[in-house]
A = this chain, B = another copy of it.
């Protein structure tokens, strides 16, 4: 708008180089891509000038021409979240390796934002999507629409069983089962399970793992030991376990759906004079950094976040580059978890294999 005394150098285009050298645009283009048809002499002159002018190809034009952006987008419920950060790290690693740019957005588990973001991201800017649906995503019409449009996408972390699409998830069932079997092996018999509202697939799978472990070892299932909480915070875990203890319920261990709940549970038990792990065993889920920092350190089921991110990204890029739609390519990859036994559940010498 305002007059500008300092002449701002416009970005050089092929045309500028062509005109300066009195040759055609096509020749410049070829020279810069080292096309064999162009004489070495001319190539040299072109490159020289391109360097001098600081020429960089205009990516928007390239994209537009190729109708491909080399951009993928990630839709995630949470950003400030250790596990998700590790997934994102894996995504970025793989994308960098393959020369893709990664756009990120957060839905906060709100369906409206999820739908809005997915719509915005697919209006042509991105070649594909990596989506982790929110906990409240029961309506999946937006995903079905993506499929119809033939836009490649991969679902990660949260399974959505009602849709046939490529997915990368973690083996919550086996992870939970292994954790509970470990508690049983350590001699705990009254094992409570702290979960969230139980709606999400992950929660259901982990509950199933818990139940299977009990069944396998013939420990009677006591419904009142499975607590559904509104919140998965440390405070929630604390409160839940405190109430159980106060109520006189017999309980000597907790398997919690998150590390935070587990830590809350541990603190509550300790506050009520129980020694961890001697009187009370605790295992969490996720292997957040805090698990190593609490005292006693927390046993937990580690999820392979980086690997999950990498795997999902590899799948997506493959779909993009082979022009496979999400409908054709419905593969579910299930990654193994790893039980990490730390102090909060280790009171016996036993051989533990994951």
Copies in the complex: 2
Give every chain B residue within 8 A of A88 (Cβ-Cβ). 79, 104
Is A71 an interface residue when CB atoms closer than 8 A count as contact?
yes
Is A81 an interface residue when CB atoms closer than 8 A count as contact?
yes
Per-residue contact bits, chain A 83-117, to B (CB 8 Å; 1 contact, 0 not): 00110110011001001011111100000000001
Is A26 an interface residue when CB atoms closer than 8 A count as contact?
no
Alpha-carbon distance A61/B124, docked complex (angstroms) = 9
Per-residue contact bits, chain A 225-263, to B (CB 8 Å; 1 contact, 0 not): 000000000100000000000000000000000000001
Alpha-carbon distance A105/B97, docked complex (angstroms) = 12
- B106→A104 contact, CB < 8 A: no
**Residue of B whose beta carbon sits closest to that of A11:** B149
Is A24 an interface residue when CB atoms closer than 8 A count as contact?
no
**Residue of B whose beta carbon sits closest to that of A95:** B105
Instruction: Answer whether A60 and B67 are a contact pair too, CB < 8 Å, given A85-B81, A101-B120.
Output: yes
Give every chain B residue within 8 A of A149 (Cβ-Cβ). 9, 11, 54, 56
- A263→B293 contact, CB < 8 A: yes
Is A294 an interface residue when CB atoms closer than 8 A count as contact?
yes
Is A334 an interface residue when CB atoms closer than 8 A count as contact?
no
Is A290 an interface residue when CB atoms closer than 8 A count as contact?
yes
- B79→A80 contact, CB < 8 A: no
How many chain A residues touch B (Cβ–Cβ < 8 Å)? 54
Instruction: Answer whether A150 and B8 are a contact pair too, CB < 8 Å, given A56-B122, A104-B88.
Output: yes
Is A319 an interface residue when CB atoms closer than 8 A count as contact?
no
Give every chain B residue within 8 A of A8 (Cβ-Cβ). 150, 325
Instruction: Answer whether A63 and B101 are a contact pair too, CB < 8 Å, given A54-B148, A290-B293.
Output: no
State the Cβ distance, A234 to closest chain B Cβ, in Å: 7
Give every chain B residue within 8 A of A80 (Cβ-Cβ). 82, 85-86, 89
- B85→A89 contact, CB < 8 A: no
Is A59 an interface residue when CB atoms closer than 8 A count as contact?
yes
Alpha-carbon distance A258/B292, docked complex (angstroms) = 17
Contact of A105 among B54, B96, B150 (CB under 8 A): B96
Is A69 an interface residue when CB atoms closer than 8 A count as contact?
yes
Q: Considering residues A57, A104, A145, which has the most beta carbons from chain B within 10 angstroms of its beta carbon?
A: A104
Alpha-carbon distance A57/B293, docked complex (angstroms) = 51
- A79→B92 contact, CB < 8 A: yes
Q: Considering residues A11, A93, A103, A263, which has the most beta carbons from chain B within 10 angstroms of its beta carbon?
A: A103
State the Cβ distance, A293 to closest chain B Cβ, in Å: 5
Is A58 an interface residue when CB atoms closer than 8 A count as contact?
yes
- B59→A123 contact, CB < 8 A: yes
Is A125 an interface residue when CB atoms closer than 8 A count as contact?
yes
Give every chain B residue within 8 A of A99 (Cβ-Cβ). 120
- The 5 A-B residue pairs with the shortest CB-CB distance, nearest first, are A59-B124, A64-B64, A80-B85, A59-B123, A58-B124
Interface residues, chain A, with chain B CB atoms under 8 Å away: 8-9, 11, 54, 56-64, 67, 69, 71, 73, 79-82, 85-86, 88-89, 92-93, 96, 99, 101-106, 117, 120-125, 145, 148-150, 234, 263, 289-290, 293-295, 325
